[in-house]
Amino acid sequence: MSINLTILGCHSATPRANAFPTAQYLEINNRHFLIDCGEGTQRQMRKYKVGFTKINHIFISHLHGDHFYGLIGLLSTYGILSREKELHIFGPKGIKEVTLLQLKISQSHAKYPLIFHELTSKESELIFEDDKVTVRTIPLKHRVYTNGYLFTEKEKPKKLHIDNINHYEEIDRADYNNIKAGKDIVLSTGEIVPNSELTLPPKKPLSYAFCSDTCYKPDIIPIIKNADLLYHEATFLADKTDLAKKTKHATTKEAALIAKEATVNKLIIGHYSGRYKDITLFKDEAQEIFKNTKLAEPGKVFKII
């Protein structure tokens, strides 16, 4: 069980030579997700050696260009690479129409199954679940309909405490599934061996919360509570709180407050406005409120094992 998050892009919309709009590659519990896909994401994926073929699910937060204009290029590339596997796209309503029109007009219809999951709910909802991971939406507040995403590992079965099990000759492999499922074992003597003696607790499931773009929205705190890792946008320093309000973005201090109140383990901030030349100021400000704050930077990898 682990999280491995690669920042592919972390700047806001205005293009600069060394700025890249939002995109992240998340490996969690052996699942591989792309989160947002600003222009140039596929080139960043090549640069940071992200395997294209591992990704089967793409989560788009909102339909501002700096979060999804790179999607169509990636989908076309999957066509060039002769992809055959299903690809699932999660994002706001409208993403299907615009994507299919672009593919049609380029005469590059996807030959692989392209499955859209269009979101419209303003409540947090479970949108993906398999045996390894769940994904829930985190309703955000921006100038257009926007969701963050909470990625959570599934609870694993208990681990066998082999040393203790070996004390009991009677217990054999046939019992292991029952033990993992939490059952006590009754010996032929009638003695009950409690499950707690035969098992070790499973590793705590990890979670990653992605929140961009959004203004300060404390009602997300219960959803992201105790996340191991939180990415929260911080477009502005605190001196631009008014501008943040107006444009429905967050400041460093607001992002840090969310992290603190949600008692997450680590905060990553990003989506820096182009007006700031020195992004270390973002870290300094956020750390006044939440010490374990890190800066998103292209190519940076955050690991939790």
Catalytic residues: 66
**Of 94 and 218, which CB lies nearer to a copy of itself in the complex structure?**
94
**Of 106 and 177, which CB lies nearer to a copy of itself in the complex structure?**
106
Q: What are the backbone angles phi and psi of residue 78, rounded to the nearest 5°?
A: -60, -35
* Spatial distance between the Cα atoms of 281 and 97, rounded to a whole number of angstroms: 41
**Of 80 and 174, which CB lies nearer to a copy of itself in the complex structure?**
80
Assign 270 to helix, strand or coil. Answer: strand
Q: What share of the chain is helix, strand, coil (3-state, %, to 5)?
A: 30, 30, 40
Give least dist CB 76 to a copy of itself, A: 4
Known binding residue 32? Answer is: no
* Spatial distance between the Cα atoms of 192 and 229, rounded to a whole number of angstroms: 41
Q: How many helices (H) and strands (E) does the chain have?
A: 11, 18
Give least dist CB 36 to a copy of itself, A: 14
Handedness of CA 260, 261, 265, 267 (dihedral sign): negative
- Amino acid identity of 269? I
Known binding residue 142? Answer is: yes
* Spatial distance between the Cα atoms of 178 and 155, rounded to a whole number of angstroms: 17
**Of 98 and 187, which CB lies nearer to a copy of itself in the complex structure?**
98
Assign 54 to helix, strand or coil. Answer: helix
Q: Write the DSSP symbol of residue 21.
A: B
Q: Where are the beta strands (DSSP E) in 112-259?
A: 114-119, 126-129, 133-139, 147-153, 159-160, 185-186, 192-193, 199-200, 207-211, 229-233
Give least dist CB 73 to a copy of itself, A: 4
CA 8: distance to chain centroid?
13
Known binding residue 161? Answer is: no
**Of 122 and 167, which CB lies nearer to a copy of itself in the complex structure?**
122
Q: Which residues bind a copy of itself (CB under 8 A)?
A: 13-17, 19-20, 39-40, 42-43, 45-47, 63-65, 69-70, 72-73, 76-77, 80-81, 94-95, 97-98, 101-102, 105-108, 143-144
Give least dist CB 221 to a copy of itself, A: 28
Assign 280 to helix, strand or coil. Answer: helix
The position carrying tokens 């992605």 is 210
**Of 70 and 270, which CB lies nearer to a copy of itself in the complex structure?**
70
Give least dist CB 49 to a copy of itself, A: 9
Q: What angle do CA 143, 146, 151 make, to 5 degrees?
A: 150
Assign 92 to helix, strand or coil. Answer: strand
Give least dist CB 16 to a copy of itself, A: 5
- What residues are designated binding site for Zn(2+)? 62, 64, 66-67, 142, 213, 271
- What residues are designated binding site? 62, 64, 66-67, 142, 213, 271
